[in-house]
Amino acid sequence: MNTLYTISPLQIEQSKVESSVCINPEHDLFKGHFPQKPVVPGVSMIQMISDMVRLYIGKPVALKSAAQIKFLNLWLPEVADQADIVMNIMEAHIDSIKLNAQISINGKPLFKIRANFGRVDYL
């Protein structure tokens, strides 16, 4: 069970998928990343997008490729434990999905990705 974060129910409007994610600032991960100034790891943000894709299509997925990954600002859980996620679906097929996504706090972008995710049972 994921105790680092929870994703709110998805809001879907055509090719746009939105949600919010809430971080557990007391999670043990932050004791090591980093002890004096906890930061949400970039790999966790990528996993959040992967989890949203899984919720969207209802099947397990994995990152197949990423044309762009940008870490724009630090996510400090003691400052903000909630962020917004917006995914724009560019292409959707039975075995894969191509998207642009962004994680932001109060309109300030933290992370952007342009990627392809594939269904695990098709990989």
Of 19, 21, 17, nearest to 88 by C-alpha is 17
What is the greatest pairwise CA distance in the chain? 45
Domains of the chain: 5-122 (3.10.129.10)
Q: What is d(CA 4, CA 29) in angstroms, rounded to the nearest whole number? A: 8
Block residue for tokens 């980093």:
34
d(CA 58, CA 36): 38
pTM, whole model, 2 decimals? 0.94
What secondary structure letter does DSSP report for 8? Answer: P
Q: What is the pLDDT of residues 38-93, one digit of tens each?
A: 999 999 999 999 999 999 999 999 999 999 999 999 999 999 999 999 999 999 99
